Amino acid sequence: MSKQVTITINGTQVTVPDGTLVVDAAKMAGIDIPVFCHHPKLEPVGMCRMCLVEIGRPMLDRNTGQVVMENGQPKIQFMPKLETACTNRVSEGMVVMTTSDKAMDGQKGTVEFLLTSHPLDCPVCDKGGECPLQNLTMQFGPGRSRFIYDEKLRLEKQVPLGELIWLDRERCIQCARCIRFQDEIAGEAVLGFDERGRNTQIVSLSDPGFDSVFSGNTTDICPVGALTTADFRFGARPWELKAQASICTQCPVGCNTTLNTRREAKAGGDIVVKRVMPRQNEEVNEIWLCDKGRFAHHYLESKKRLTRPMIRKDGKPTRASWDAATKLAADNFAKAKKDFVLLASGRLSNEDLFNLKSLADTAGGKAILYSDMGGGELTQLVGVGAGTNIGAMGKGDAILVIASDLYEEAPIWWLRVKQAADRGATLIVANPRETKLDRFARYTIRYAYGDEVKTVSSFGKKSKISDEFAKAKNAIVFFGSEGLGVNGVSALASSCASLLKESDHVGRPNNGLIGVWQRANDQGAFEIGFRPEANLAKALKGRAVYIVGADPAGDSPALAKALDGAKFVAVQDILETATTEIADVVFPAQAFTEREGTYVSGERRVQRFYAAVPVKGSSKPDFAITSMIAKQMGIILEGTSPSVVFDILANSIDAFNELNYERLAEVRGQWPIVGRGDLYYGGTTYENTQGLGVQLVPMAQVMGTVRIPKVRKEAALRPKEKELLAVPVNKLYDLGATVRSAELLGGRIGEATIFLHSSTAKKLGVEEGKPAKISFGGVSVEAVVKFDDTISTGVALAPRSMGIPIREPVVSKVK
Amino acid sequence: MGVFDPIIELSRGLGETLRSFLFEKTVTYQYPEEKRPVRPRFRGRHVLKRYDNGLEKCIGCSLCAAACPADAIFVEASENTDEKRFSPGERYASTYEINMLRCIYCGFCEDACPTEAIVLGDNYELSFTDRKQAIYTKDLLLEPVPSEQMLTPRKVEPRAFTRSVPEMKDPTD
């Protein structure tokens, strides 16, 4: 524990760690010092001068170096001028006065000065109502300015900094929070200052503009309405919005979010989600959110939402009652007996997956997870220990990221891993091609696609990298699915788990294995007993299939064919998909915004989400639909209350033992304090009042030791002459159902693309920017060719969910 | 009391009636044929005002809705473009509804309006046969325009109307 010092702020004694900034110390004592440029997550700069206070320190005798005493008290010497509370660190015996006449005068003067060029167009400003400058003007601002009105600056008011963020140059007070966020936290210096003095302006330095997936966060920490999101532009006034806690479902990080909802005439008078805001959870997403999580929520209001159960009659889908639809499905599943297959994805909550698994088990069917990744059983064994916080990792710790482009797959993990590296953690990035994380890595390892397991096992040999990893105080391994299919990822996970076990990095907080899954709750599905299937087409063909929250027919022609040959297809989803079109019966499910439930994040944190908007049509939550079907089959499953389903789940699965909804909703005090009345301190991020979640304890922590099952690695594919190894990679913005309906992201999604080395392309005779035909495993699709000379020559990179039905590395031909 | 007293009283009263019948002006208005002008500060049905050039004063800021004690106002804003301009500046009200059944004619909306767009007018003749009719939409509330060229939305010169909130001046009255 660091040294503690005691200081006096406004007559109150406060004890804080040495080195704390005065403004933070005051905050801890519940005293608000107004700030604009200071942000607790950023380095102090002292640019805005808003936090002027009177600071006095005990007077020292020049000769003896002793504190001069006066009437038994240390004599305090005040500086002749005001000082900034955001750049001064506390020292023993310091006396701070934040509300003295002199300090207040300084603060008033600063506001008056900041307002000399501010347009005061609060009525049209999206920030109006939650604006630090507005609030502090009401608190400190003089009613009348001494500055000449006609000298007010007139600057551009609608500047698009990229398609997601708008800049209003007039409103900007040059606090540089956005620039510093991009520099210090995101590590992508895409914003900067241009000009100087009164003409200082924010500019985007990248092409395309504001090229960062964290851009939305700058609008949260902007203390004025200078940066606003294009998504929420004039969407609503902040005071009209209702807030409900939720969890982001776009990736396995499980960022805590707050959904702001409002009734909307454009949506036909429905209550809709107007914006997604981060909710503080210092162990998950801190106070940040990536742009995908923030802007890709529009699929929930899609016109393609399913609202009524449908049954195929004479080849045409027709409306049916819930009774008839569930009866039809139940009869077919019961008739199929062992041929009953249940395919569910990690988009579903734990409650849904648990009921589905119970149904499959009781009815004698098989439950398959719709994923290209295996290895979830290993994260159950040696997953990160309870109490893990990447934000606490630093010097002496090690993080290995293998076969994953975290920036594209889980941006907030990327951010936190990057920051851990900034704090001194040893970051080892092993990937066949360059990724954005390489820049922050101490060691970068390149291997050929197919050599993942070999790379990890080479850590067993003596080398500088393996030594540093083995000796690290704490170590976490992230494994992904770059260039791998189900079996490949399982083999990789197993070798990573062995590596961690051998170097004794299991069973403790900040140690263990993390899977960079494709969907939000894949980890939960593994916990509940779902397993992926490498040969999915074979598993579906000729069976009675119950597909939940997945679109296999849309993703792959091979799977569509397999479903064509299925005995019976029941689909349960929120949107119309290619799979619902070929289904015999379709059940409309509720989206996560319309119901309650829980997810398990990649770090195995169980987190609750809440219902924020009303139900669409007669849709029902997934677990309730499953229970209705089960009832028709004579199986009793809880179908009314998600919390009861969760209680049953907690009783039957060891890892969830003693968990319940109340425990998941527990909160503790977090630092920095955000989202209260003091928006100027932390930004518009919401305070967490509805649950921080609970991390599951991995087997290694319970048992002390575990045996790692060996997974045999498949032989690497060797393409012949004129053939290429097509490998799947992951993209942040893809054509997945939950992303493509966000119009704003459209430009960043693009089209079906394959990446080739320019010399490979030359040999094959394909040109950059032109479409080429890629064929493998009996399918052939057109994709635009792009050159990437950082990849090796024998491969073609094919992004997943971008129109190319690739699930695992395959030998392909490109023409 | 004498015998004639009631008769005297009666004739005195009737005399008063006769006097006012013959000599006083009538105070009755033949409503609805004849309408009585309202007082200057009368608060009747709302009107959404326009500038002299026909552009709408309302910027969709929703402050009227925030000020409304009866929660009678619903506003939804959208963005202006130079091709389709409703109001000066970036923002206009794409939906503006007042539920006249909820309105208590307090005039707070008028006070809250930063552009003096909403004004309680002098129309008090509100009657409905159905609750939905009581919801006045933007087209009912907007002031009529004198000529067709002044209709909104309309195409304007690029960058001619960049500011939506009129320059702030101290009130003169």
Q: What residues in B contact A236, CB-CB < 8 Å? A: 62, 76
Cα A424 to Cα A244, A396, A472, A518, B19: the distances in Å are 37, 7, 12, 29, 105
Nearest residue on chain B to A240, alpha-carbon basis: B66
DSSP, res B154 = B
Per-residue model confidence (pLDDT) at position B82: 92
A134 — pLDDT class (breaks 50, 70, 90): very high
A813 — pLDDT class (breaks 50, 70, 90): confident
Residue A335's CB: how many other CB atoms inside 10 A?
A: 12
**Interface contact A240-B89, CB threshold 8 A:** no
Is residue A152 predicted with pLDDT exceeding 90? no
| pLDDT tens readout for residues A246-298 | 999 999 999 999 999 999 988 888 999 999 999 999 999 999 999 999 999 99
Per-residue model confidence (pLDDT) at position B171: 55
- Across A668-698, b (16+ Cβ under 10 Å) vs e yields eebebbbbeebbbbbbbbbbbebbbbbbbbb
**Interface contact B66-A266, CB threshold 8 A:** no
Instruction: Identify the helix (H) or strand (E) that includes residue A160.
Output: strand A159-161
Is residue B1 predicted with pLDDT exceeding 80? no
The shortest C-alpha distance from B165 to chain A (Å) reads 6
- Which residues of A fall below an 8 Å CB-CB distance to B? 119-121, 123-124, 128, 157-158, 233-237, 239-240, 263-266
DSSP string, A660-691: -HHHHT-----SS--SSS-HHHH-SPBP--S-
Q: Distance between CA B157 and CA A211 in Å, rounded?
A: 32
What does the mean pLDDT of chain B come to? 91
* Percentage of residues of chain B with pLDDT beyond 70: 95
Per-residue model confidence (pLDDT) at position A117: 84
Instruction: Identify the helix (H) or strand (E) that includes residue A747.
Output: helix A746-749
The shortest C-alpha distance from B96 to chain A (Å) reads 10
DSSP string, A356-419: HHHHHHHHT-EEEE--S---HHHHHHHBPBTT--GGG--TT-EEEEES--HHHH-HHHHHHHHH
User: E strands, A634-751, where?
Assistant: 694-695, 724-729
User: Shortest CA distance to A291 belongs to which of A302, A306, A276?
Assistant: A276
Per-residue model confidence (pLDDT) at position B168: 57
Least confident of A111-125, A214-228, A386-400: A111-125
Cα A727 to Cα A34, A479, A494, A752, A789: the distances in Å are 53, 16, 21, 14, 16
Q: Distance between CA A66 and CA A58 in Å, rounded?
A: 10
B169 — pLDDT class (breaks 50, 70, 90): low
Nearest residue on chain A to B73, alpha-carbon basis: A240
User: Shortest CA distance to A530 belongs to which of A654, A382, A354?
Assistant: A354
Per-residue model confidence (pLDDT) at position A40: 94
Q: Distance between CA A72 and CA A525 in Å, rounded?
A: 67
B73 touches chain A (CB under 8 A): no
Q: Distance between CA A670 and CA A637 in Å, rounded?
A: 39
ipTM of this predicted complex?
A: 0.87
CA angle A437, A441, A447 (to 5 degrees): 80
pTM comes to 0.94
Per-residue model confidence (pLDDT) at position A207: 86
**Interface contact A123-B59, CB threshold 8 A:** yes
User: E strands, A681-721, where?
Assistant: 694-695
DSSP, res A616 = P
Q: Distance between CA A185 and CA A220 in Å, rounded?
A: 14
Least confident of A432-446, A778-792, B97-111: A778-792
Backbone angles phi, psi at A695, to 5 degrees: -85, 135
The shortest C-alpha distance from B129 to chain A (Å) reads 23
User: Shortest CA distance to A254 belongs to which of A289, A220, A219, A213?
Assistant: A289
As a whole number, mean pLDDT of residues A692-716 equals 87
The shortest C-alpha distance from B25 to chain A (Å) reads 52
| pLDDT tens readout for residues A312-333 | 998 899 999 999 999 999 999 9
Least confident of A17-31, A476-490, A761-775: A761-775
Look at chain B and count its residues.
Answer: 173
| pLDDT tens readout for residues A43-68 | 999 999 999 999 999 998 888 888 88
* Token duo for residue A265: 């005439």
**Interface contact B89-A124, CB threshold 8 A:** yes
**Beta bridge partners of residue A545, listed in sequence order:** A341, A569
User: Shortest CA distance to A533 belongs to which of A712, A368, A752, A379?
Assistant: A368
A678 — pLDDT class (breaks 50, 70, 90): confident
A72 — pLDDT class (breaks 50, 70, 90): confident
DSSP, res A86 = T
Per-residue model confidence (pLDDT) at position B162: 84
**Interface contact B61-A120, CB threshold 8 A:** no
Per-residue model confidence (pLDDT) at position A718: 75
**Interface contact A239-B66, CB threshold 8 A:** yes
**Interface contact B59-A264, CB threshold 8 A:** no
* Token duo for residue A144: 């009348």
Q: Distance between CA A113 and CA A147 in Å, rounded?
A: 8
CA angle A345, A346, A349 (to 5 degrees): 110
Q: Distance between CA A636 and CA A619 in Å, rounded?
A: 21
B137 touches chain A (CB under 8 A): no
Residue A55's CB: how many other CB atoms inside 10 A?
A: 25
Q: Which of A123, A236, A237 sits opposite B165 (nearest CB)?
A: A123
Query: Would you say domain B46-150 falls under CATH 3.30.70.3270?
Result: yes
DSSP, res A145 = -
Strands A512-515 and A475-479: parallel
Q: Distance between CA A498 and CA A139 in Å, rounded?
A: 60
Per-residue model confidence (pLDDT) at position A1: 55
Domains, chain A, with CATH or none? 4-114 (3.10.20.740), 310-371+531-593+615-654 (3.40.50.740), 376-524 (3.40.228.10), 724-814 (2.40.40.20)
* Amino acid symbol at A95: V
As a whole number, mean pLDDT of residues A649-660 equals 94
Those residues whose C-beta lies under 8 Å from the C-beta of residue A60, and which sit 6 or more positions away, are A66, A67, A68
* Percentage of residues of chain B with pLDDT beyond 90: 73
* Percentage of residues of chain A with pLDDT beyond 90: 77
Nearest residue on chain A to B87, alpha-carbon basis: A124
| pLDDT tens readout for residues A451-480 | 999 999 999 888 999 999 999 999 999 999
Q: What residues in A contact B165, CB-CB < 8 Å? A: 119-121, 123-124
As a whole number, mean pLDDT of residues A7-18 equals 94
Q: How buried is A158 (Cβ within 10 angstroms: 0-12 exposed, 13-18 middle, 19+ buried)?
A: middle
User: Shortest CA distance to A227 belongs to which of A196, A191, A275?
Assistant: A191
Per-residue model confidence (pLDDT) at position A587: 97
Cβ-contact A247, A520 below 8 angstroms: yes
Which strands form A340-344's sheet, in the order they lie side by side? A316-319, A310-313, A585-588, A568-573, A544-548, A340-344, A366-369, A531-532
Per-residue model confidence (pLDDT) at position B167: 67
Cβ-contact A383, A604 below 8 angstroms: yes
Per-residue model confidence (pLDDT) at position B172: 56
Nearest residue on chain B to A230, alpha-carbon basis: B79
| pLDDT tens readout for residues A179-222 | 999 999 999 999 999 988 888 999 999 988 999 999 999 999 99
Q: Which of A157, A240, A264 sits opposite B162 (nearest CB)?
A: A157
DSSP string, A179-232: HHIIIIIS----EEEES-GGG-EEEE-SSSTT--TTTHHHHHH-SSSSEEESTT
- A vs B, Cβ pairs < 8 A, gives 55
Is residue A750 predicted with pLDDT exceeding 90? no
Q: Distance between CA A110 and CA A327 in Å, rounded?
A: 71
Nearest residue on chain A to B113, alpha-carbon basis: A123
Domain map (residue ranges) of chain B: 46-150
Per-residue model confidence (pLDDT) at position A45: 93
Is residue B48 predicted with pLDDT exceeding 90? yes
CA gyration radius, chain A: 28
DSSP, res A335 = H
As a whole number, mean pLDDT of residues A774-795 equals 89
The shortest C-alpha distance from A617 to chain B (Å) reads 23
Per-residue model confidence (pLDDT) at position A491: 94
Cα A656 to Cα A335, A343, A378, A380: the distances in Å are 34, 23, 17, 11
Q: Distance between CA A708 and CA A494 in Å, rounded?
A: 7
User: Shortest CA distance to A771 belongs to which of A804, A806, A724?
Assistant: A804
Is residue A714 predicted with pLDDT exceeding 80? no
Specify the 3-state DSSP secondary structure of A130: coil
Cα A287 to Cα A28, A131, A211, A233, A721: the distances in Å are 18, 17, 20, 21, 51
Q: Which of A123, A263, A265 sits opposite B63 (nearest CB)?
A: A123
Q: Distance between CA A565 and CA A558 in Å, rounded?
A: 11
